Structure 1
Amino acid sequence: MEQKQLPNATIILIMGILSILGCCCYGAPGLIMGIIAIVLGVKATKIYKASPEVYTSYVNVQAGKIMGIIGVVLSILFIIYLIWLISYFGWETLQDQEELQRRIQEMMGQ
C-alpha cells in the first residue's frame, strides 16, 4: 500500500512557524496563525490516529502543532504586556517620545 502525506501537514508547519514570528507584530497575527495551526493539527492527528499506516509526515504535524501552541502563548503574553504598557504609561505618553523618555527616567529614579 502506498503511503500518502497527511492533508495540510505543510500548512500546519508553516502556520506554526509564522505564529511564533507573528507574535511580535502586536500579538494578533501570531494568535490567529497559532490557533489555525492547532485546529488543523488536531484534525490531522485524528486522521493519522485512525490509520497510521496510510499516512506520512506526522512529524510535521506534531512540530507545527507545538509551534502553534508556543506562538499562541507568546502572543497572549505580548498582548498582556501591551495592555500593561498602555495602562501604566497612557496612550498619549506612548505616542510622545520625549514624554515617554522622561517617564522612563522617572521610573528608573534618575
Structure 2
Amino acid sequence: MEIERQQLPNSTLILVFGILSIIGCCCYGLIGLIFGVIALVLAKKATDTYAANPEMYIGYQNVKSGKILAIIGVSLSVIYIVILIVGLIMYGGIEGIQEMQREMMEQYGG
C-alpha cells in the first residue's frame, strides 16, 4: 500500500517570505527583517515536521530555499539598519541630516 504524500505545511509561504525578506531589506531594513524572521520560524517548524516523517511530505526543497533566502534577507536587513544607525550618529541625528541637506541646497542653488 502506497502512502499518499502531501505538501509540507507552509513550504510555499516560507519561500515567498524568504524572497520578500530580500526585497524588503531595501525598505529601511525593517520589512525585510520581519519577513525574514517569520520565514525562519516557519522553516524551523516545517523542518521539524519533515524530520519526524519525511516519507509523508513533499516540498522540503522550498523550505530549504526559503530558509536560505530568509537568512540572506535578515543579514542584509541588519546590515542596512546598522548603516542607518551609524549614519544618524555620524551626522548628528535627524537634525544633522536636515542641516546637511539645507547646506547642499544652498551650495548648489536649489
- Provide TM-score, normalisation by structure 2: 0.86
Report the 3-state secondary structure (helix = DSSP H, G, I; strand = E; otherwise coil) of the residue aligned with 1:82. helix
Deviation, structure 1 residue 92: 2.0
Aligned length in residues? 102
Q: Partner residue of 2:76?
A: 74
- Provide TM-score, normalisation by structure 1: 0.86
Tell me, in whole angstroms, the C-alpha distance in 1 between the residues paired with 2:44 and 2:61: 13
Report the 3-state secondary structure (helix = DSSP H, G, I; strand = E; otherwise coil) of the residue aligned with 2:31. helix
Gaps of 5+ in 1: 103-110
Q: Partner residue of 2:89?
A: 87
Q: Partner residue of 1:105?
A: none
Gaps of 5+ in 2: none
Identity %: 54
Alpha carbon RMSD of aligned pairs, Å? 1.6
- From 96, 100, 103, the counterpart of 1:99: 103
Q: Partner residue of 1:63?
A: 65
Letter in 2 for 1:55: Y
Q: Partner residue of 1:6?
A: 8
**Structure 2 vs 1, CA of residues 51 and 82 (structure 1 numbering), >3 Å: closer, same or farther?**
same
Residue 30 in structure 1 maps to residue 32 in structure 2: yes
Report the 3-state secondary structure (helix = DSSP H, G, I; strand = E; otherwise coil) of the residue aligned with 2:55. coil
Tell me, in whole angstroms, the C-alpha distance in 1 between the residues paired with 2:39 and 2:95: 36
Tell me, in whole angstroms, the C-alpha distance in 2 between the residues paired with 1:70 and 1:101: 37
